[in-house]
Amino acid sequence: MTTGQGTNHMTGMTDQSLFEQNVAKLIVETLKLKVDPSTIQPEAALFGEGLGLDSIDALELSLAISQTYGYQLKSSDPDIKAIFSSLRALTRAIEKNRAQ
C-alpha cells in the first residue's frame, strides 16, 4: 500500500517535512552516523532493523534534543518507546513539547 510518503526509489530521497529534515540532521550529526539525513525515511524504525540506534544513542539524542529544542525526554515517560519509534513520531513529540 502506498500512502504518498516514503522513499522515492529513484533518488533515495524521502518525503520529509522541513522540521523532519532538521531533526534528521540533528540525529546524524549528534550520533556521527554515516548516512545522509535526507535518506532517513520518516516512518522507518530508529532502533533495531531501522536506523540501528541503541539505548546509548537514545541518551545522546535526548540530550541534544533538550539542548536544541528545550524538550526534556525522560526514560520514565510511558510513551518514550512510541516517541522514539520513528523520525516522524520523534519530530511530532518535539513540535508538541518544545520550548517556544
DSSP per-residue letters across 51-88: S-B-HHHHHHHHHHHHHHH-----TT-TTHHHHTSBHH
Beta strands in 1-100 (DSSP E): none
pLDDT surpassing 70 at residue 92: yes
- Dump pLDDT digits (tens) for 43-62: 999 998 889 999 999 999 99
Q: Are 6 and 14 in contact (CB under 8 A)?
A: yes
Cell of 48: 533495531
Residue 7 has pLDDT above 60, yes or no: no
Task: Note the pLDDT of residue 100.
Answer: 62
Quick one: average pLDDT of 23-46? 96
Helix (H, G, I), strand (E, B) or coil at 19: helix
Which residue did the predictor score with more confidence, 56 or 2? 56
Kindly compute the dihedral angle of the four CA atoms of residues 79, 81, 87, 30, in this order, to the nearest 10 degrees: 110
The pTM is what? 0.83
Residue 14 is predicted with a pLDDT of: 62
